[in-house]
Amino acid sequence: MTLPHYSKTYTVWAPVAGRVMFGLLFLYASYGKIPGTESYRMAVDYSAGFWLPFPEVSIMLAFILEIIAGIALIVGWKTRIAAFLLMLYTALLTLIFHTGFADQMATGFFVSHLGLIAGLLYISVYGKQSEAVKKPILPKDSS
């Protein structure tokens, strides 16, 4: 009997599922940074409260990174680069916003971000493993 985690189906699709979940996580995070919305303004104000230089530019760059790299993880395009950039971004956010260990909430975010960083490091080393979206096989032209 083969254990489920040794099956071919599992080893092909588990990395894809994990990558898609990471991508969706960052796409969801980008939703709160859509320029012109109230949540964008709140993110800018929150960042300014931490003395982040050029908070509007920083939030816009974060929005772009989360969209592009999130989609790249989902479809399996430039996966290692996308995961590496998101890992650096998450590590930077963790150091800036979540090191107030006197606050239990900040400590919880710090620890959870360590898990995100670990997963993104893993993807940045081992890559996509398999495509989430494969190129369609078109019939040959018989003319």
Tokens of 101: 């260990």
Q: Are 113 and 93 in contact (CB under 8 A)?
A: yes
Buried residues in 38-57 as b, exposed as e (16+ CB within 10 A): eebeebbeebeeeeeeebee
> Rounded mean pLDDT of the chain?
89
User: In angstroms, rounded to a whole number, what is the distance separating the alpha carbons of residues 20 and 15?
Assistant: 8
Where do the domains of the chain lie? 12-126
Distance of CA 104 to the CA centre of its chain: 24
pLDDT < 70 stretches in the chain: 1-2, 130-143
pLDDT digits (tens, 9 = 90+) for 76-108: 999 999 999 999 999 999 999 998 889 999 899
Are 99 and 106 within 8 A, CB to CB?
A: yes
